[in-house]
Amino acid sequence: MGRFLKALVMTLLLMEITAIVALTAVWTVLSELHASQSILFVALGLTAAGLSVLALIVFRRALHAERLLESEPDIETVTSWQGPVPDMPGPNAVGPATSPVRSGDPFLMRRQPLVHRVE
């Protein structure tokens, strides 16, 4: 799907909900005020014109966002990765994953300050 069509779909989805809410609100308020039918139609027409301007702004911003997304370079994969660094502690909560934990391990307290050594 091209960027024009993506931007158009996003705009239509957003503006459909916005139009329903805005036109219903105008209709409800003017009906509660017992406005005449001609005033009601003029107000709905002005609301529709405002929504058209808003739709144009949303479409231009969506098209700009699509252009930015297409212009970003793809992420390159790293092929020189050799695995985990042996000095880094692993994900377990007791000690480093690279070596077994002993009771006299001097690095246990330094690497994980919240763990207290049990003697």
Task: Return the pLDDT at 77.
Answer: 53
- How confident is the model over 48-64, as pLDDT tens digits? 999 999 999 999 999 99
Distance of CA 51 to the CA centre of its chain: 24
- Read out DSSP for 75-106? PPPP----SS-TTS--SSSSS-TTS---TT-T
Token pair, residue 26, equals 């105008």
Domain ranges for the chain, please list them. Answer: 3-71
Q: To which H or E segment does residue 63 belong?
A: helix 37-71
Confidence of residue 28 (pLDDT cuts 50, 70, 90): very high
pTM of the model: 0.57
Confidence of residue 70 (pLDDT cuts 50, 70, 90): confident
Instruction: Look up residue 43 and give its amino acid.
Output: A
Kindly state the average pLDDT of the residues 4-11: 92
Neighbours of 62 (CB within 10 A): 19
Task: Return the pLDDT at 81.
Answer: 57
